[in-house]
Structure 1
Amino acid sequence: MSSKVDLHLHSTASDGVYSPTEIVRMAADNGLEYIALTDHDSVAGIAEALAEAEKHPGLTVIPGVEISTDIAAGDVHILGYFVDWRNPDFVLKLSGMRDSREERGQAIIVKLAELGMPLEWSRVKEIAGDAVIGRPHITQAMLEKGYISSFAEAFEKYIGRDGPAYAERIKLSPAEAVTLIESAGGLAVMAHPFTLPDVEVLIEALIPVGLAGIETYYAGYGDYEIEKLRRLAQKSGLVATGGTDFHGLDQKTEMPIGGQTVPMSAVKGLLGRLNRQL
């Protein structure tokens, strides 16, 4: 495995399958040198990941988060790197967002029942374990019932943004997320930009409030997309970062930890921005 960097990983602290400890061990086994744990609206797995990283001297874990935000055109995800994961105000804000995720999950369950696909809330909570309940947990319950044949089908037909069982939750604006990450001493990076139309306009609008980078080397992006984002980052004075967005949900289709080639310049660029910010 050629990549030494993966800056987009999820654990059981949000909607991933593997614990923070397991994520760090897999990264070490795959020969990575830098990873970031970026759970959805949660830093609950950071302490565990950092403790495990001490057992793997060649691996550095960057404390991170992925914050879901909203604009008219769809969801915008903002990654935060080097956040102060013990900052009480930051943790409290994330906690409120996670509570909203659970309320959204309950609303989705109601809508699915109305569509003839009843699920037990207790089973969804059991699947989630200690993690914040997310749509992947609901999808797993749907798979168990035989309502769908794949994760993709659940999102495409039922619980994606335009699906009949979709439910909204409390979200920040992209600018508010960037500001929140900065308030915790972190660097804000736009995740998987090509999920949005007119992304260049949005990026330009976020630079004045502190956007530090663009996720450029992303799982599933081809050479054309990567080069376009690399040039955009260079033109805008932003760091070109990258990662797999690993959740561990589907081994047949999901790229493994470190499977996306991300240059070491992504880490060096972030460290350079962080040093200028301090």
Structure 2
Amino acid sequence: MIVDLHSHTIASDGVLSPSELVKRAVDNQIDILAITDHDTIKGIPEAQKLILTENLPVKLVSGVEISTAWKNNEIHIVGLNIDIENQQLLTLLQAQEQGRIDRAMAISYKLGKLHIDDAYEQAKAFSKGDIVSRAHFARFLVAQGLVKDVKTAFKKYLGKSGYAYVPAKWCSIEEAITAIHVAGGLAVLAHPTRYDLTGTKLKLLINDFKTWGGDAIEVSQSRQTQDDLQRLAKLANEFGLLASQGSDFHDLVNYLDLGKTPPLPGSVTPIWHNWKLN
């Protein structure tokens, strides 16, 4: 069984529409797919409709990836099997979306000071959804020839040491977990090894996450060594958490393609172990 519980569409900073993402999942023979756009669930209805209308052989899990703040770090919490009509969750996501708009406008202002004009409108042209993220600014900067690639755009302009960096004002991990649970979902700590934390701080993060009611961590990810896989499996068991897996798919780059993650080790309990899959 092929499972991918972390993917993005044009509703946030992905490059495929929800329908295109679902079709790619079918082409890649994925059995269970979660759409987990950043701080929005707006892409899910389109995907649900396509699967139902065309009777496609993939189970769609309604999800979201919520940006949170923890000890001056941005930590992402994925919610899976959520009720996308739950008002408490929607209220939180509306606040997150407004925060993204405010941040984007502040980034645009800073870029303007660097004589990069109309950056917000230019970045918005790279966004087909309601959210303009740093990824869209990065694509704009690449298209303008100001940097050679997205990675350089973040290093020079958008990352913490960049000229146009603006800190985000996100909700807390506890608030995200609560909203996910109220919406009937499970809360997952996304890509734990990508936060540039020491081993001690990562354990502190996981402990806090567990204390606040977190359910699982992503054990299997893209661009991952076997050592990382086994390390995360060990941490999942150490803290009594379920194991999830996901590619964090955004675009058509082979090493980040849908479903291209290693199988979960047999030592962990998959997050879908008691889901009704029929």
| TM-score computed with the length of structure 2 as normaliser | 0.90
- Relative to structure 1, is the Cα distance of residues 266 and 58 closer, same or farther in structure 2, using a 3 angstrom cutoff? farther
Partner SS, residue 76 of structure 1: strand
| Residue in structure 1 matching 2:36, options 38, 41, 48 | 38
Q: Can you give the 5+ residue segments of structure 1 that lack an aligned partner in the other structure?
A: none
Gap regions ≥5 residues in structure 2: none
1:116 Cα deviation (Å)? 3.7
Cα-Cα RMSD: 2.2
Deviation at 1:216, TM superposition (A): 1.1
Report the CA distance between 1:119 and its aligned residue: 3.9
Residues 134 and 167 (structure 1 numbering): CA distance in 2 closer, same or farther, change over 3 Å?
Answer: same
Residue 208 of structure 2 aligns with an amino acid whose one-letter code is: A
> How big is the shift at 1:4?
0.9
Matched residues, percent identical? 32
Q: 1:242-272 CA distances to partner (integer Å, 9 max, x unpaired)? A: 1111111x63x75111112344989973245
Structure 1 residue 15, shift from structure 2 partner: 0.8
Q: Is the 8 A contact 2:215 2:241 kept in 1?
A: yes
Residue in 2 aligned with 1:270?
271
Change (3 A) 1:14 1:157: same
The Cα of 1:84 is off from its aligned counterpart by 0.7
Alpha-carbon deviation of 1:87? 0.9
Counterpart residue type for residue 256 of structure 1: D
Q: Distance in 1 between matches of 2:273 and 2:213?
A: 15
* Contact 1:62–1:81 under 8 Å retained in 2: yes
Q: 1:208 aligns with which of 211, 217, 230?
A: 211
Q: Which residue number in structure 2 is paired with residue 229 of structure 1?
A: 232
The one-character-per-residue Cα deviations of 1:200-248 (angstroms, maximum 9, x if unpaired) are 1111122132111111111112111110000111122211111111111
- Which runs of structure 2 are paired with 1:1-278 in the superposition (5 Å)? 4-54=2-52, 55-196=54-195, 197=197, 198-248=201-251, 251=253, 254-263=255-264, 269-272=270-273
DSSP 3-state at the match of 1:269? coil
Aligned counterparts of 2:20 and 2:10: Cα–Cα separation in 1: 10
Distance verdict in 2 for CA 1:267–1:236, change over 3 Å: closer
Q: How many residues align?
A: 271
State how far apart, in whole Å, the 2-side matches of 1:235 and 1:273 are.
21
Secondary structure of the residue aligned to 1:78 is strand
Letter paired with 2:135: P
The answer (yes or no) to whether the contact 2:88–2:182 under 8 Å persists in 1 is no
Q: Secondary structure at the match of 2:161?
A: coil
- 2:236–2:268: 8 Å Cα contact kept in structure 1? no
Higher relative contact order (CA 8 A, sep 6+): 1
The one-letter code matched in structure 2 to 1:64 is G
One-letter code aligned to 2:37: D
SS of equivalent residue, structure 1 residue 8: coil
